[in-house]
Structure 1
Amino acid sequence: MSSPTKNATRSSVPRRQDAGCPSAVDLFAGCGGMTAGFVAEGFDPKLAVEWELPAAATYAANFGVDHVRCIDIAELRSDEVPKADVVIGGPPCQGFSNLGTKDPTDPRNALWREYQRVVLAADPQVFVIENVDRFMKSSEFALLMDQLRSGALKRWKHVDVDVLNASDYGVPQRRRRTILIASRVGPVTLPAPSHAKDGERGLKPWATVRQAIGKVSRVPDRTELPESTEEYFGHRVPGVFKSTEIHVGRRPRPMSLERYDHIPPGGGRFDLPDHLLPRCWAEKLTGTTDVMGRMRWDAPSLTIRTEFFKPEKGQYLHPQWDADEPDNRVNRPITHREAALLQTFPVDYLWCGGKIDIAKQIGNAVPARLAAAIAATVRNRLK
């Protein structure tokens, strides 16, 4: 396993400094959103597996390279898996996603079986699976539950599973994800919400876009990433970039700028005048209102996906828009830095890869703050 060059930097991901830190294995680790939350709650990562090089490099830049395997999980031998207190991970969900092919034969749908193989090898007290909200309605989920009831995973008989909204855990984003926690050391429950939409039930109000990105410069620093590369796993990748260096904008066409200018906070393509509608939208009078949408300052964003830099893909326009002062409008999509903050990555997180690579890492990640809430409830169960 190749290590980075000596001048590679490390972010100061928040960590609880406790004696006897519980250990964790992170599968399908991506750029480290789940690990960031677990590390913040005092877990020590012993193994991370991620097959995409830029994501694995980002993970290594933040948490160290020695325990990271940049390979297909099927290539990981069971005898290479360390014993661990917890196994965490989100098998790729594109086969289940509303935005995917919805193909039940998609081979990515079976990757949870590799997750199961590693669980059996690591023999954790608890394991956690994260996936899209539709996962609970899939045939693969039904097979997984069969394994938990009477199959290879039956020792982990204490199971809690539900669809959680990240905004209920302090994430400034309405992101619904299936979370399953299974324990062999006694009952364990999903974390109780810490936030509610309007602060109901004595909880904190939902975190907002303003709280996440309100202090970030409204003018991106650049349109391209700095010229820099680092070696990870025997290959050179773009990076390592500080979070401030991924505050990159685009060069929208005049027509795009004119469209952006007509869209108020919470609005979308249905706010465009007829002369600015592309034919495909003009002929489709129904459908999602999120397309070409603008965020609201004082509410969570909608789900941050992998193409947040394209306003035509969702509600990704910057929230600053003044009806009476056109000059006080920010007519652009959010930047990579802003998307990372909405995903609650630490402000000094480090990044590797090109712009599209980093966007994919951010959009696919588990929000770090949601991961920390899960980690806290899991740690309370461990013996």
Structure 2
Amino acid sequence: MRAVSLFSGAGGMDVGFKQAGFTVIAANEIDTHACQSFRANHTDTILYEGDIHQQMNKLACLTDIDVIFGGPPCQGFSVAGKMDVTDPRSQLIFSFADVIEQIRPRAFVMENVKALGHLEKFALLRKQLLARFTKSGYTVTLITLNAKDFGIPQSRERVFFIGLREAINPITSLSFRKHHASPPTLREIIAPLGKAGTLSNSKVCKAKITLATKPVLRQSPYAGMLFNGQGRPLNPDGWASTLPASMGGNRTPIIDEAHLFHDAKPWVEEYHCHLMKGGKPYSTDAAPKSLRRLTIDEAALLQGFPINYQFCGPQSKVFAQIGNAVPCQLAYVVADIVCHALVYPTVSQNDDYTRGQNMELQLA
């Protein structure tokens, strides 16, 4: 099946769609470094580099397209940002709709942060967007998926707008049940790379780790704010919180190598216990040397990129490309469901998928 990728970034979503059997014939991305990464890994896809509005004529010439997929910028909708509807980037969801109206694929998938699909603040925006899709002849499903429910070691909730033209049986939450899988631990994913700074794990983040003078405590030692900056510690025996695009500095998550590689008692847990019992915060420079930031290669693996995936640009730009990506395995899951719906349009999407837990679903 023929697909087109929009707001492609470094191509993480493309990896998943290709794994599901789609041929991505064309893509569009504006960021220079992301374009370099995309070209390095997707040599069989034509990349239209630049502002999507300036590439609209080229995109409109594409024909016989089965699916268009992509994730317009989310900064204007993210709870981690200003949640500003007037942010120019927030209007790019309508640019996505422009391409859909021009090409009229059999299906589309638009990904974004959970807030866009749920918050009352964006209700009017959602209504306007869905009205355009409906007017173009699509049955649209809004579904929120958490990456950790599909074998990905990261708690990362995202909303997907999935549209089918001439749909007989729309996609529902039951469609995703066959893909439900328990995630591996961080240890299982990143420990095989070896210690930070070694040949197989050389792309280290050197941002200094300092303790907060006024820690914010939560029940879990891996929540709250024990360190300066927003980089939280990760539990090697659990999964990661959402990896942000702002990694590369003091927002980069923290790993305890003594815990990861030598099964030492987790320093973070001991310090958290000390604070919870009323102990005074340690000095800002008291963090042990075994604590360090997540590396580029580790972050890429936690997003599901192939181990040999090539990233281009300075470290901050590479971290941004990784943090902005849709986890490849999650993209594969969605792509597989869409493929099934296109190949078997008269078969109920619920027939084959009868196991697993229900996902939150909102039908438009």
TM-score tier after normalising by the smaller chain length: 0.7 to 0.9
Residue number among 196, 221, 244 corresponding to 1:305 in the alignment:
244
C-alpha displacement at 1:293, in angstroms?
Answer: 2.2
Q: Which residue of 2 aligns with 1:239?
A: none
Q: Per-residue displacement from partner, 1:191-238 (whole Å, max 9, x unpaired)?
A: 51457xxxxxxx64222212221211113248xxxxxxxxxxxxxxxx
Q: Which residue of 2 aligns with 1:338?
A: 298
Q: Which residue of 2 aligns with 1:91?
A: 72
Residue number among 123, 126, 130 corresponding to 2:107 in the alignment:
126
Hey, what's the Cα distance between the residues in 2 that align with 1:334 and 1:66?
31
1:147–1:248 Cα change, 3 Å: same
Q: Percentage identity across aligned positions?
A: 29
1:333–1:43 Cα change, 3 Å: same
Matched, 1:356 2:334: no
Residue number among 317, 328, 332 corresponding to 2:254 in the alignment:
317
Hey, what's the Cα distance between the residues in 2 that align with 1:134 and 1:336?
27
Q: Which residue of 1 aligns with 2:37?
A: 58
May I ask how many residue pairs the two structures share in their alignment?
Answer: 307
| Structure 1 residue runs without a partner (length 5+) | 1-21, 196-202, 223-243, 273-277, 282-290
CA contact (8 A) 1:128 1:182 kept: yes
Q: Which residue of 2 aligns with 1:377?
A: 337
C-alpha displacement at 1:324, in angstroms?
Answer: 7.8
Residue number among 156, 162, 169 corresponding to 2:143 in the alignment:
162
Residue number among 177, 182, 189 corresponding to 2:171 in the alignment:
189
Q: Which residue of 1 aligns with 2:356?
A: none
C-alpha displacement at 1:319, in angstroms?
Answer: 4.5
C-alpha displacement at 1:350, in angstroms?
Answer: 1.1
CA contact (8 A) 1:159 1:181 kept: yes
Hey, what's the Cα distance between the residues in 2 that align with 1:148 and 1:96?
20
Hey, what's the Cα distance between the residues in 1 that align with 2:156 and 2:18?
22
Aligned residue runs from structure 1 range 79-228, under 5 A: 80-81=59-60, 82-83=62-63, 84-136=65-117, 137=119, 138=122, 139-149=124-134, 151=135, 153=136, 155-156=137-138, 158-186=139-167, 187-189=169-171, 191-193=175-177, 204-221=181-198
CA contact (8 A) 1:78 1:121 kept: no
Q: What letter is aligned with 2:132?
A: Q
| Structure 2 residue runs without a partner (length 5+) | 269-286, 344-364
Hey, what's the Cα distance between the residues in 2 that align with 1:324 and 1:56?
40
Which one is further off, 116-125 or 319-328?
319-328
CA contact (8 A) 1:308 1:339 kept: no
1:324–1:370 Cα change, 3 Å: closer
Hey, what's the Cα distance between the residues in 2 that align with 1:40 and 1:319?
34
Instruction: Report the TM-score, using the length of structure 2 for normalisation.
Output: 0.76
Instruction: Report the TM-score, using the length of structure 1 for normalisation.
Output: 0.73
Q: Per-residue displacement from partner, 1:78-107 (whole Å, max 9, x unpaired)?
A: 354312100001111111011222112111
Hey, what's the Cα distance between the residues in 2 that align with 1:324 and 1:304?
21
Q: Per-residue displacement from partner, 1:42-87 (whole Å, max 9, x unpaired)?
A: 1111110000011011111111165101110010133543121000
CA contact (8 A) 2:225 2:232 kept: no
Partner of 2:184, secondary structure, is coil
CA contact (8 A) 1:29 1:50 kept: yes
Q: Which residue of 1 aligns with 2:56?
A: 77
C-alpha displacement at 1:355, in angstroms?
Answer: 0.7
Residue number among 29, 42, 45 corresponding to 2:8 in the alignment:
29
Hey, what's the Cα distance between the residues in 2 that align with 1:270 and 1:77?
45
